[in-house]
Amino acid sequence: MDDKTDKKVKHSEQDEKIKKPVGPPKGIFREYFESLVVTLIMAIFGMTFIIQAVTVPTGSMQNTILVGDYLLVNKFIFAPGGTPIPFLPQREIRRGDIIVFKYPGFPDNKAKTMDEGGVPYQINFVKRVIGLPGDKIEFRENSVYINDQLLPEHRIIGDPPENIPRTLRNVSALETREIEPRQPEQKYDVFYSKNAFDEDVLPSEYPFASAGKPYVVPQGSYFVMGDSRNSSLDSRYWGVVDRNLVIGQAMFVYWSCDRVASGESMLGCITNPRLNRIGKMIK
C-alpha cells in the first residue's frame, strides 16, 4: 500500500469518527442518581442473600455475645435444603454453630415459663446448636448429654454483678469464676449461675430434654441453647428450630454498645461504645 492510499484510509477513519453522533454529556445529577441506584441494588442483593445485621437485646448468650452487640450474619454459608452448591463456600449446620433464626414460639403458642420471647416467626433469636437431626438430647446435672455421651463444654460460673442497680443486671456482662480446667476438646464456654450448683437446689424440669426424659431431635430440625444456661429461653422450653427458620450464622461484632452506661438512650449507645468488642469473631 502506497502513501497516498494509506492517507486516504486514515482520512476515511477520521471522517467516520467525526460523523458518529455523540450524545450529550451526563449531568452531575444523573451520575449521582445512577450510582445511587447501583449501590441500592447491590445493598438489597447483599442483605437478601449474603449478610444481615442484627442486634442482641437479651442476655441468653452472655458472655459469648453481650447485650448491645450488633452482629453481622452470614446468610449464605448454610446450604438451602442441606445440599451445598458445587464450588461455593457452603456447608450444612454443625453442632456448636451459633445461628440466628426466627423464633418458632411454644408448641401451643402459650409460654409456660420465663418470657414469652415475642411474636413467633417475627423476632430473631441467637443460640448455639446443640443437637442435630436424630440426636438424643438430655440435660442433667448442669451438663448436656448427646446420645448418652457427655457433650464437651467448658463450664464457668457466671452471674450478674451485684454492685449495679437490679434493673441493669440483665444487660450487664457476667462476672465469672472458673470451676474446672478447660479440656482440649472443649471448644467454647457456657455459663451457669452459682446457685445452679447448690446441693439443696432441685433440678429444673423442662418440657424438652430434662433429666430422665431424653428428647430425640426430629429430622430437619435443630436443638439450640443459650450459653448463659440459667437465663436462656431455648429448646428446653419451646422445642426445636425448623431448618426453614434458620437465617444464618453469626459472624462478628461490628458495633457494641454499653447498655449499662447508655441506659435506654440511642445517643448514649453511640457515645458509650465497647471498642474492645468491635471486630470480635463469634465462636
The three-state (H, E, C) secondary structure of 154-187, written as one string:
EEEEEECCCCCCHHHCCCCCCEEEECCCCCCCCC
Residue 145, CA atoms < 13 Å, CB-side half-sphere = 15
Rounded CA-CA distance 157/143 in Å is 13
| Listed residue (82, 176, 66, 171) closest to 126, CA to CA | 66
Rounded CA-CA distance 158/230 in Å is 10
Q: Is the pLDDT of residue 102 over 60?
A: yes
Q: Which three cell numbers stand for residue 252?
A: 462478628
Which pLDDT belongs to residue 50?
Answer: 57
CATH class label, 51-271:
mainly beta
Which pLDDT belongs to residue 205?
Answer: 85
Neighbouring residues of 160: CB distance < 8 A, sequence distance ≥ 6: 169, 170, 172, 174, 175
10 or 160, which is more confident: 160
Percentage of the chain exceeding pLDDT 70 = 72
Q: What are the structural domain ranges in the chain?
A: 51-271
Q: Is the pLDDT of residue 236 over 80?
A: yes
Q: What is the pLDDT of residues 34-84, one digit of tens each?
A: 455 554 454 444 444 457 888 888 889 999 999 989 999 998 888 766 666
**Residue 107 pLDDT class (50, 70, 90 cuts):** confident
Which pLDDT belongs to residue 264?
Answer: 60
- Whose cell is 426445636? That residue is 240
Residue 244, CA atoms < 13 Å, CB-side half-sphere = 3
- Whose cell is 482520512? That residue is 11
Q: What is the pLDDT of residues 161-182, one digit of tens each?
A: 888 777 777 888 899 999 999 9
- How much is the average pLDDT of 190-214? 87
- Whose cell is 450478674? That residue is 160
**Residue 257 pLDDT class (50, 70, 90 cuts):** confident
Which pLDDT belongs to residue 7?
Answer: 47
Rounded CA-CA distance 89/11 in Å is 55
Q: Is the pLDDT of residue 5 over 60?
A: no
Question: Which of 13-22, 26-35, 108-117, 265-274 is predicted most confidently?
Answer: 265-274
Collapsing DSSP to helix, strand or coil, 73 comes out as strand
Neighbouring residues of 210: CB distance < 8 A, sequence distance ≥ 6: 138, 139, 140, 203, 204, 236
Could you tell me if 260 and 68 are in contact, meaning their C-beta atoms sit under 8 angstroms apart? Answer: no
Which pLDDT belongs to residue 279?
Answer: 93
Which pLDDT belongs to residue 198?
Answer: 85
| Listed residue (205, 200, 243, 203) closest to 224, CA to CA | 243
Q: Is the pLDDT of residue 144 over 90?
A: yes
For the range 265-273, what are the long-range contacts, defined as Cβ-Cβ under 8 Å and sequence gap of 24 or more?
269/68
